[in-house]
Structures are given as structure tokens and as C-alpha cells.
Structure 1
Amino acid sequence: MSDRVIPGRGGGFISLGAADALWADLTGGNVVPTVSAAFTCAPTDARVGYVLLGGRVVATVQVSGGGWSVSEAEVRRAAMELNVVAMDRRDLVRIGPFRGTPQQEHRETTLLRWRQRIARELQEPTHGRVAQGEGGDQHHLAGIDWLRVLVEQTAQGRAAGSWWLPRGVVRLLDAAEHAERKWLQAARPGYGTVTEPSSSLEQAQAADGRQTTSTDRPAGPLRLYNGELKGQLYGALSRKPGISGKVAGWICAVCRTAPAAVLDHCHEHGYVRAPVCHSCNMQERPDHLYSNDIRVASRYTRLFDTEAADWLRHWHRCSGCRARTTLPLPHLAAWIAHTACRSLRPTHHRGSRGRTPCGVLRVSWRGSQNAPRSCVLTVTVDFCPSGEHRVLAQVPYREAAGQFRTWLAKTAPAVAAEAGPDRVDDLPAQPRPVIADTSSEGLALF
């Protein structure tokens, strides 16, 4: 006989079976999908002394006879916190795979390490059958059924695709990883790999797609970034001892909610921009198809529309971009396609939804920003029913840069006021070529 859940009961300890039923009952209608066996389905193991439910750690207690129990009140609190989480299935964060990342070793561990666990599971030969619902196994982390919201995208001409999760799920899993590390630090004083700070669970839930790479995170409170690294070259700064711990002590300079994890820098000029979290670092990375060809995804709406002022301020932390009042060539190309050529994009009538833009925007360029007279950007539409690879515009680099300066002055006048050609004293004598960072190396600090 299965354990019976008593609605409204708020105290005492319940068995793992009853906790499974209670969790499924309380979160069944949530926008974030959960599993019905959060306490008894792998990788959860009550014997380690706790289970993860969303961003909360729930302790487990061994009772007479060798069984395990959990606090019903804690299960209800975790469900209540999860039920208020919003999730937009269109707002996706790429979680892998990244070129150059070694395949994860299959070894048991009690730590969540959710990115490694997901990568390992998706690399299993049985993943194709599991994704189609065969076998009946539940796939969850922290009680969240991540497989139900996983998006796999396959680029044209590539055998391997990429994995994406909604940003809301990424935040929850990061919060769970953060809460677990802090719980272990408090429960096991000798736990040597944990030095992450956190003021509360709510602060952890604000984490936006981050993955901590540093093991020497300071124990003090996080601080705002105030331009302490302004004008420094990434190549020299990244080799300084202790810089990893210093970066980990800042809050992300873009979203200002998550702890910083990496040191973002301009790949065109080599200057440090600011410490940012992994999610922001991934969000601003151009979607390179080739070294001189990018696809303009829907996330550029945030970069150039809803959160344009924040991102423009961040990009112009690079001395080179600020002095020339421009953006790195891949970012400028994305802006031309997304903003300047928006009115040229064909649309199709889709019934009650009205007219919607067709296809996928793509922009390529020939030449280099270091030889602007010969550099031309070509904006096309892929997968357009009226003709694939339809050319929308060909824009010379100098014209694109001029249009951007005009738009910048209207969109972010404070950023435009700080830019200008009179601030070139500290620029490198030989500008760097564009470096297309398509591997996972850009996510690491070194």
C-alpha cells in the first residue's frame, strides 16, 4: 500500500514515499516540471543526509528500522518556493556541449554539479530512447524534470547539436548547487572545496545561469564592480596570482544579481570589460556559424532592446570600443541585422497571430574592421519560404559604424557621451584581428 498524504498536515516527519506523493501533489500544476519520485529516484540519495528540492536543502533523518524520513513542513516550504518561480520556455540558456570540453567521466558523487550530470546523461548511448519516452525512467535534478524542458538544436550541416534549458530552470539548478555547497560547509567544517558566500536562499535563486569555477571564493560579502580593472589587458591580468579569487568576490557587473564567475573581455581589442556570471557571459556571446558568419538569435532582443543600456555600458568598458564608438565586429554585425535591417525582414501571415517575421536572420562579412574600406557586412534570411539565403542588405563597415553611433546617442546617451576618438592614448599600437571564440575556453577564467 502506498503512503497516504494528509492534506493540510504541517508538522512531523514523513517517510520518503509519503514525501514523494506530497511533492508531486503540491507541484503538479507548476510551470516548472517536477517528478513524482523526487526522494526515491536517482540521483537523489537520502543516505547522504539531505535532498535537494528546487533551491532548498531538506535534511533527511534515519529512523528505527533503517528507514529514512524528512520534515513535512520543509517539503511544503520547498514546494511553496518552487510554485512562485516563473519560467519562459523561449528564454533559453545554452548549457553545452562546447567544443574543446572533455567528456565527463562517469563517477559517483554526492554533489549536484548539474551541468556535468546533464552532459553525462546526454552523452549516454541510450539518450535517444530516453528522450522519446522509452523505458519510463525519471530524469530529475533537485526534483526538477529537466528533460521535459530540454531543447536540442542542430545547426545546418552539423551532426552534433547544442543543449538549451529555460533560464528559470538554470537559475533554480544553480540555486540548488549553491545551497548544497553552503549546507555542506555549515554541516562539515572540514569541507575544503566550499568557500562560497551567500546571504540567503533568495539571493541564490537570483543567480542567472552561473557555474562556479573557482575554489578560492572569498568568505566575505560580494561587492559591486566599480571599474577597478578598467584599461587592463586580459592577457596580462589573467596570469596574475589570486585573480580568480578576486573575480569571484564581485557581483556580476551586468545583471547585478548573481556572483561573478568569469572575467569578460573584448576579443577584438584585448581589454578587460568586467567580471560577469556565466549566464551573462553566454548571453552576449555571438552565435558563430563560422569565423565570419553568425546567426542572430532571439536573445539579441535583450541585448539591443529591453536591456540595451546595460549591455552597451558593459561593451564600452573596453577602451578600444569606447574610443572608436563602436562594437566588436561580430556584435556590430548582429546589431546591423537585428536593429538596422529589421524593417527589411520579410513577414508571413500566420492566421490569428497576424504577420510574423519569417526565417532566421544571418549576417556574414568579408574583410576586417582593421581595413574598414574593404569590409562589407551581408544580411540574409535563412529558411525563408520565398527563397532560402535571401539577401536583405549589404552594408559597408564604415556605414554600419556610423549608423551605430547615431543609434547609440539616442538609446544610451550617457554611454555615447563617454565615447569618442580623443581617448586613444592607451590603445594598442597594433589592433588585434577578430577572434571567434566558439569553444568552452571563453567560459574559463584562464
Structure 2
Amino acid sequence: MLISREYAHSLFADLTQSVMVPLDPDELLHMPGLQRHGHVFIGDIALRCYKHKARWTYDERDIRTASRAFAELDVDLGDVDDVQLPMYYERPERDPEEWNRPNWRRRLMLWMFDAARNKAQAEVPWEEWNDAWKEVGANGLPGGLTWEEFVAACSQRRDSQNIASTRPLQLLTWSGETWLLPRAYTELLDRWEQREEKLVARARLCACGAQGPHWGGWRRHSARTGYVTMCPPCAGATCQLYTGHMCGVLYESPRRRNTRADDYLCRLCKESPASAWDHCHEHGYVRGPLTELTREFLQVRWPLR
């Protein structure tokens, strides 16, 4: 039976109150992996998301199965594993395909160095910024960070708290020489990496067999079925080119509501199907169809015409 995100969240939280791994059921509400592959990971378990009557839902059986799996997971806090975090490196030095692959060790490393950089740059004028924050101290943290400062910095952002809907900082410890996590937990995160990579690889494929970019690109939102993957040629064959015919139409008007944005290509890139009608919040008129990535992340501004 399909259930709402809210009920799935409540049910999962109730069934996992006593599990050993610190979980974050709120990820069931935020659905962080929705655009990438249509699932939400709880540990190494992928919960499929379903679009039903214009709302995202879960299968109740999947929620209960995941809850049982975590209830049965035996985590020995005394059996620990060396985390072996990678050295710091700048993002431009890496291949974009490699950088976007799931890597929980790299993510922990970036949390630490991001917190250290933000602390260092907040304390001095920009003309005095340097790379001293990259130096790792005796407590395993860079830039003179204390453990309390690191945890506080991570708590300010959701993407610096959770890995696969789990909270590693609650289990992470410093031995004096290296970072440690329970072995069962590191094995779980290793399985998550492999399964996330497989789902992303599958989601990158267009129906014609062409493979899109590793992180989004060809993925677009369909109001009817959720996210689908379409290469530019397939999108061009199935969607119309927007010609400005909605100019002067109010976003709240019945005419806009009866015209689907995903029937058109994005007004800017003219390659990917649009996901929504962009509009001006001041005068309320439609500006044109945009992809979700363009609307949310590029924050494009264009004149109404």
C-alpha cells in the first residue's frame, strides 16, 4: 500500500527507536536522492519513491522491511575500523565523473575542511586569507578546529550531517592517531556506495540506450510519473519548442494550469524537457518553461517579453 511521506516518516521513526545506528528519518521527507535515481537510501537500503496523484509516496512494505533490517543489524561499538580518510584535494583537480560518485570517506573529509576554512575565513579580512586552515592538528581536525566547533558547523547544514540517512558523527571517534568507526557501520556505508552507484548508472540511461551525465543533466521531472531520463535528441522529438505563446498570461490563470510545462523544451537550453512554468513573483506573469535544475540552482533572471 502506498503511504504519504509524512506517514512513512512517522512509521519508520517509531519502528527504529532502539536501533544501534543513528538514523535520520527526516530524509524520508526531504528525499535527497529523488532527482538522481528516484530512491531514498536508509543506510544501504534503497526505498523507491512513487508518484501517485501528484504526490510522492512510499510503499509501506518497504518501510517496514527497512525497519526490520536495522532492528536486526548488530553493531559492536568495540569492534572498530580505521576510517582512512583521504587527503585534502581541490575539486577542480579531479575528474567531474569521479568527483560525483558516492564516497562517504571523501564526504567526511570535506565536512572537516569546509568547517576549518569557514572558521579561518570568518576570523580575518579576505586579503589575509591563507591556506593555514588545511593543516591537521593533533586531534585529527584541520585549522585548529575543536570537536565541538566541528559538530556545531555540521549541524547548520543538512548536507553536512547525513550520509545515507545516517549520522556518522555520533559514532566517529579519534584514537589519537586515526579516525575510527564501528566496523559493521563502515561495511554498511561501503555497501551504500556500491548500490547508490548502480542506481545512478541505471538512471543515467535514456530509453534509446544513450548514457547521460553522472549527476543529473538528462533527468527531468514529469508531473505524471516522476523523474525520467531523456537525451536531447529524444527530448526534442517528444517535446515542443517554446515560442513565447504564454507571454502576458498570469501564472495563476486557468490557461496556465491547463498547459503542461513538461510538454515543452526548456526555454534557455532548448534541449531538456521543462519541469515547471517560471514566473515573476512581482507581477505574476509567466516567463516560460524551465527545467528544475535551472530554476533551483542557476537562479536565472530574464526580462518578460
Please, what TM-score do these two structures have when normalized by structure 1? Answer: 0.34
For the pair shown, which has the larger CA radius of gyration, 1 or 2? 1
Is the helix fraction higher in 1 or 2? 2
**Greater relative CO (CA pairs within 8 A, separation 6+):** 2
Please, what TM-score do these two structures have when normalized by structure 2? Answer: 0.48
